[in-house]
C-alpha cells in the first residue's frame, strides 16, 4: 500500500505495493522474512530528495532505517504499524509504500536426468559430453558465431553455483538475509538453471548456453526457498547500475505493482540497461484471446522486456501467463540446463524462457561494439523486429525470439540511441552531463577567441 502526505491531507487513501536491500543501515532481525505483526516494512520517499529529513522522520515515529541505495533517493524502513500514517503525513515525506513479496512458484520442480549424471560430480572430467537443449536449437542459437563476449549479464535470482563444471561466474552479491554479501551461492537450483540457459560455457561438457562467452553475475535477490521482497530486487538492480551490468535478467514475479519499483525500472532503462523478465506462470485460456491479463509484476511494466513460454510443438505453454505487455515468446517447457550439485536437469516455466531472450540480447549487444550500458532500446528493437511469428496471436507479442535473425539483421552500432518506444528522442546511457556540455562550450568559446585575437 502507498500512502502520500498529500493523500492523507486530502483524506484520500491509495493502494499499491513494494521490496528489500542496498546499504544496510541497521540490521533487521530477518531481512527476507515478513516483519512482525506490530511493524511494517516500507519504502519511504522524500519530498525533495533530502534523506536527512527523511531519516529524522522515520526515527520520529519510532521506526528504524534499514537500507539505503547508491542510485535511488529513498530508503527501506521498519515502522510500527500504527505509525505508518503518521510517517506518510510527516513534513518532507512524499509517500510511503509497503515492501511486498516476489519470488518463483512454490511448485517449481526440476527433473534430474540420469543420462547426464556424472560418475563423480565434483570431477569435471567425468561430466557427459556437451549437448544443446531443444530450445537452444529452436531459436537458432546453436547456429550463430557470436558468443556475447564482453557483455555483462546479471542473473537476479537465487544465486548461481559458482563451481559448476558448465558455468563460469564472473562475480556477484547476495542481497538476502541469509549469508554474507559475498555468499551468492545457489542452494535452491533455480538461479543455476536460469544461468545455464543464458550463458553456460562452451567447454564440451554438459550443456552450452545461448551466449556462452557472456560474463554471468550472480545477483542473489531470492533466498534459498525462492522468496524475496521488492527491496531485494531493487538492491540487485541498484548493484547492477553501480557496476555497469548491461543486461538485468529477472526470472521472478510478484502479485502487486509498485510505484517504487516502477521508478527503479525507469531509472535503469534511462541509464541504458536492458531489463528482461518472465511473464509469469498464471496460465491462459489457450484460445488465442487478447482479453486475458494474467501476467505478474514487473513483467507488466512497459520498460521491461516480458517473455512468455512455448512448448516444443510450437504451441503456447498452458502455464504461461499472457497479456498486452508480452513482448516475446521463447522455449520454456522441459528445458535441460545446469542445476546445483554439479548436475543437469529439465525444468519448465516462463522463468526458463526468459534467459533464452537474455542470451540472445547478449549476442546482439556483443556485436554492437557498445562499451557498457547504452543502446538498450536499439537492442530491444532488434530482438522484437527479428522475432519469428509462431502463434499468430497476440499471446506471443512480437513472436519467437530468433537468434539467427537478430544477429544477422540490422544490428545497432554502439552510438545508436535514436528513439524510444514512444517515438521520443532519447540518449539513454550515452548523454553527457550538463557540466560536461558547459565545459565543452566554454572550451570552444575560448578557442574561438584565441583565433580572433591570437
Q: How does DSSP assign 188-218, residue by residue?
A: SSHHHHHHHHHH---SSBSB--SSTTSEEEE
The span from the CA of 408 to the CA of 209, in Å, is 19
The Cβ of residue 372 has, within 10 Å, a number of other Cβ atoms equal to 15
Residues labelled as active-site residues: 157, 190, 351
Q: Please give the radius of gyration of the chain, using alpha carbons only, rounded to the nearest integer.
A: 23
CA distances to 277, 293, 448 from 289, rounded to whole Å, are 22, 10, 64
Q: Which residues pair with 65 in a beta bridge?
A: 77
Q: Which domains does the chain have, with CATH numbers?
A: 2-99 (3.30.70.80), 111-408 (3.40.50.200)
CB 277 within 8 A of CB 299: yes
Q: Which residues pair with 137 in a beta bridge?
A: none
Q: Which residues pair with 173 in a beta bridge?
A: 219
The span from the CA of 168 to the CA of 187, in Å, is 17
The span from the CA of 307 to the CA of 277, in Å, is 6
Closest CA to 300 of 156, 406, 159, 397: 397
pLDDT for residue 406: 97
> What cell was used for 286?
489457450
Closest CA to 364 of 302, 323, 407, 397: 407
The span from the CA of 102 to the CA of 280, in Å, is 11
pLDDT for residue 410: 61
pLDDT for residue 115: 77
pLDDT for residue 28: 38
> What cell was used for 425?
528522442
> What cell was used for 50?
533530502
pLDDT along the chain (454 residues), means of 10: 42 31 45 64 92 93 96 97 96 96 95 85 91 97 93 98 97 95 97 98 96 98 98 98 98 98 98 98 90 95 98 97 97 97 96 98 92 92 97 95 91 49 37 41 49 49
pLDDT for residue 272: 97
pLDDT for residue 117: 82
pLDDT for residue 269: 98
pLDDT for residue 21: 36
Closest CA to 69 of 303, 311, 233: 233
List strand residue ranges (DSSP E) for 5-134, in order: 23-24, 39-46, 64-68, 75-80, 93-98, 101-103, 111-112
The predicted model scores a pTM of: 0.85
Contacts 24+ apart (CB under 8 A), 433-437: none
| DSSP calls for 294-329 | -PPBTTTSTTEEEEEEE-TTSSB-TT----TTEEEE
Amino acid at each position: 500500500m502507498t500512502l502520500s502526505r498529500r493523500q492523507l491531507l486530502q483524506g484520500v487513501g491509495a493502494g499499491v505495493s513494494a521490496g528489500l536491500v542496498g546499504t544496510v543501515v541497521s540490521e533487521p532481525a530477518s531481512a527476507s522474512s515478513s516483519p512482525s505483526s506490530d511493524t511494517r516494512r516500507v519504502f519511504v520517499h522524500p519530498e525533495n530528495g533530502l534523506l536527512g529529513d527523511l531519516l529524522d522522520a522515520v526515527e520520529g515515529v519510532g521506526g528504524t532505517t534499514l537500507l539505503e541505495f547508491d542510485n535511488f533517493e529513498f530508503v527501506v524502513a521498519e515502522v510500527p504499524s500504527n505509525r505508518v500514517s503518521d510517517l506518510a503525513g510527516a513534513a518532507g515525506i512524499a509517500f510511503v509504500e509497503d515492501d511486498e513479496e516476489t519470488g518463483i512458484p512454490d511448485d517449481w520442480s526440476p527433473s534430474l536426468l540420469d543420462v547426464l549424471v556424472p560418475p563423480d560430480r565434483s570431477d569435471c572430467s567425468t561430466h557427459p559430453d556437451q549437448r544443446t537443449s531443444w530450445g537452444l536449437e529452436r531459436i537458432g542459437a546453436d547456429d550463430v558465431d557470436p558468443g556475447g563476449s564482453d557483455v555483462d549479464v546479471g542473473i537476479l535470482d537465487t544465486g548461481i553455483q559458482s563451481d559448476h563444471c558448465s558455468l563460469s561466474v564472473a562475480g556477484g552479491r547476495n542481497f538476502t538475509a541469509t549469508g554474507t554479501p559475498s555468499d551468492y551461492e545457489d542452494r535452491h537450483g533455480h538461479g543455476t538453471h536460469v544461468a545455464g540457459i543464458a550463458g553456460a560455457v562452451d567447454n564440451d561438457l554438459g550443456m552450452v548456453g545461448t551466449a556462452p562467452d557472456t560474463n554471468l553475475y550472480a545477483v542473489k535477490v531470492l533466498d534459498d526457498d525462492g522468496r524475496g521482497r521488492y527491496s531485494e530486487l531493487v538492491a540487485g538492480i541498484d548493484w547492477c547500475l553501480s557496476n555497469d551490468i548491461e543486461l538485468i535478467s529477472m526470472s521472478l514475479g510478484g502479485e502487486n505493482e509498485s510505484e517504487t519499483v516502477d521508478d527503479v525500472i525507469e531509472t535503469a532503462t534511462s541509464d541504458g540497461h536492458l531489463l528482461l523478465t518472465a511473464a509469469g506462470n498464471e496460465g491462459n485460456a489457450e484460445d488465442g484471446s487478447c482479453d486475458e491479463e494474467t501476467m505478474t509484476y514487473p513483467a507488466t511494466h512497459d520498460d521491461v522486456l516480458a517473455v512468455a513460454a512455448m512448448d516444443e510443438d510450437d504451441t503456447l505453454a498452458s502455464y504461461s501467463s499472457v497479456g498486452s505487455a508480452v513482448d516475446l515468446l521463447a522455449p520454456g517447457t522441459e528445458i535441460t540446463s545446469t542445476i546445483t550439485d554439479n548436475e543437469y536437469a529439465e525444468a519448465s516455466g516462463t522463468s526458463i524462457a526468459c534467459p533464452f531472450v537474455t542470451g540472445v540480447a547478449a549476442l546482439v549487444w556483443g556485436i554492437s561494439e557498445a562499451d557498457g550500458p547504452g543502446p538498450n532500446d536499439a537492442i530491444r528493437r532488434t530482438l522484437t523486429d527479428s522475432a519469428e511469428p509462431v502463434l499468430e496471436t497476440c499471446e506471443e507479442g512480437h513472436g519467437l525470439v530468433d537468434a539467427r535473425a537478430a544477429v544477422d539483421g540490422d544490428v545497432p552500432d554502439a552510438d545508436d540511441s535514436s528513439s524510444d518506444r514512444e517515438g521520443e528522442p532519447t540518449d539513454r546511457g550515452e548523454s553527457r552531463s550538463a557540466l560536461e556540455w558547459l565545459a565543452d562550450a566554454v572550451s570552444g568559446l575560448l578557442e574561438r577567441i584565441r583565433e580572433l585575437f591570437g
